[in-house]
Amino acid sequence: MEMPVFPETVAQQLKQFAQQCMDDSSLLHDPKLFFIKELIEHYGGKIPEPKANDSSAKSESKSAFEPEAEPEVEPEYQAESESEEEESDVELDMTGVIEPDQDPPQKMGNLTLQPTEEEIAESQAKRSEAVSAFVEKDYEKAIQLYTEAIVLNPQAALLYAKRGQIFLLLNKPNACIRDCDRALELNPDSAAAHKFRGRACHLLGKFEEAANDLRLACKFDFDEQADEWLRETTPNARKLEEHKRKMERKRQEKVERERQERLRKAREAAKAREENTRTSQTDADNASPGTGDFYQFLKDPDVLQAFQDAEVAEAFKDISANPMNVLKYQNNPKIMALINKMASKFGGAAGMPGGMPGFPGAGMGHPNPPKPTPKDDVGLD
């Protein structure tokens, strides 16, 4: 067996790999290199056992045989989306935005319960106490009293809005939004609920939602504080609205480009099919001259009627199997009439003057050709 000859590059890689194995024997314990380990042990060599910390080193090391990973080519659409994200960055004024609160949801009233007159009266008393606690800035007590009032009269939208206001003062915008959502569920026109929810959305950086709520609050019951909050959140809301319009415009343009591309490909495919059809038709016309005329001939009414005759059909089948069998029908006027009609239609075709392609043409011009001379009868039965 001849010694294999390695190219210089491969030899250099082998040399580098051998040096790597001498520097770090754990490489030889890689299952992908088992054949090298077997080779060394076959000739009496011994590979050191891997150390405890060799596994990480082995995973970080690369064999000289392992090709370097090719840089991943990002799909075109991904690159486009990333560029759109870069272009779509909106500089917003985040002054006043805070981290969202993560407290468990507060206690809500049971909306299926209809309070009695006594419960409604007691709820109003709790509300009065809550207002006093609020004035004294004892917010935790105010929340407790509003909660008790809500349990007694869960149908009162204003109680939820007022408790939401206190959560807002305590920098708990999520709790405020939950209360205002319930208040607006009970009374969609609650200016107070829109006002406090709008401010809570602003604190969470939800500027578009904030602007919508504060506009409604000013619409239902104009309030200077609500108007001030609206003016504060409007610049960011407008930037985001403009950004959304821009992104929607880009999306529509992309959809239109894709549609135009599909139309272009469809037109090209249709054009290619048309050219292929035209080429195939031309090839068919050039491939076998006269073939089309022959099939047109078979559609002739007289020919079709002739083939209705079982004798003619059987004779034509016999002649098609062996053109020389035409001689058997020389004295049959009915069959020879059809053959002579074919001969006149396709005279000289396929290099056979006076006959059909595949049929002997000599002597077919007349239903009763002259009998052959004795010289010509040689070999005929």
Please identify, among 212, 233, 254, the residue that sits at the C-terminal boundary of a domain: 233
Note down the domain range covering 336: 298-341
Within-domain flag for 144 = yes
What is the model's pTM? 0.49
My answer on whether 228 and 308 are in the same domain is no
Please identify, among 181, 203, 233, the residue that sits at the C-terminal boundary of a domain: 233
Within-domain flag for 277 = no
Q: How far apart are CA 84 and CA 132, in angstroms?
A: 54
Residues 332-354: pLDDT tens digits?
888 888 788 777 766 544 333 33
Within-domain flag for 350 = no
Within-domain flag for 92 = no
My answer on whether 222 and 310 are in the same domain is no
**Residue type for 126, please?**
K
My answer on whether 226 and 121 are in the same domain is yes
**Residue type for 205, please?**
G
Within-domain flag for 266 = no
**CATH at 174:** 1.25.40.10
Within-domain flag for 322 = yes
My answer on whether 302 and 227 are in the same domain is no
My answer on whether 332 and 226 are in the same domain is no
Please identify, among 341, 356, 373, the residue that sits at the C-terminal boundary of a domain: 341
Within-domain flag for 17 = yes
Within-domain flag for 347 = no
My answer on whether 228 and 154 are in the same domain is yes
Structural domain count of the chain:
3
Per-residue pLDDT tens listing for the chain (381 residues): 455 555 666 667 777 777 777 777 777 777 767 677 777 776 767 777 765 544 444 444 444 444 444 444 344 444 445 444 544 578 898 988 999 999 999 999 899 989 999 999 999 999 999 999 999 999 999 999 999 999 999 999 999 999 999 999 999 999 999 999 999 999 999 999 999 999 999 999 999 999 999 999 999 999 999 999 999 999 999 999 899 999 999 999 999 999 999 999 999 999 999 888 877 666 655 555 455 555 566 667 777 777 778 888 888 888 878 888 888 888 888 888 878 877 776 654 433 333 444 444 444 444 444 444 444 444 443
**CATH at 337:** 1.10.260.100
